[in-house]
Amino acid sequence: MFTPTLTSPRASRLSDTDRIRRIIGIDPGLAASGWGIVEYEPQRIRYIAHGCIETEAGCIHAERLFFIYTRINEILEAYRPSESAVEILYFGKNVSSAVAVAEARGVLCMALARRGLPVYEYSPNTIKQAVLGRGAADKRQIQEMIRMILGLDAVPRPDHAADALGAAVCCAHSARSLQAGGGL
């Protein structure tokens, strides 16, 4: 199994105490892929931007995937994150869309890897734990906590973008525990 190196050349030159990390979080989907960007410096998480890449159901499947790939590359170029956090797919009752969403996730991860970004993966429960302090929470609670953590006036919309910001915040919290001597 191929495991990419998780340290970029730029990151290795800076110490943990003097670097600002820009993290893009991604909530993958074929119809809608949420993205959110935060900056993390020791003891502080700052909101940068969020949005959603949406594709139309009537379009050819391959064209939808290509649109996602093209759009995420534009976002990566505009915001230049130094690492990424991607939500691991979870399919409760809607298993029929699993393959299409997995393909979209693959395209997104490929774009991140192509840019040399470390790709950290987090389960929905891990994200909830990092954001709210417990793994059992509903979407509204998580979204409200994201709003409070990032000092936003309103809950980020659409839901997929809020979930992506949650993944980015989870990654930042994981960095805090690493700096404190703990592990992921």
Angle at 19 between CA 14 and CA 20, to 5 degrees: 145
Beta strands in the chain, from DSSP E residues, in sequence order: 21-27, 32-41, 44-54, 83-87, 119-122
Whole-angstrom distance, CA of residue 113 vs CA of residue 83 = 10
- Annotated catalytic residues are 27, 87, 160
Whole-angstrom distance, CA of residue 85 vs CA of residue 172 = 9
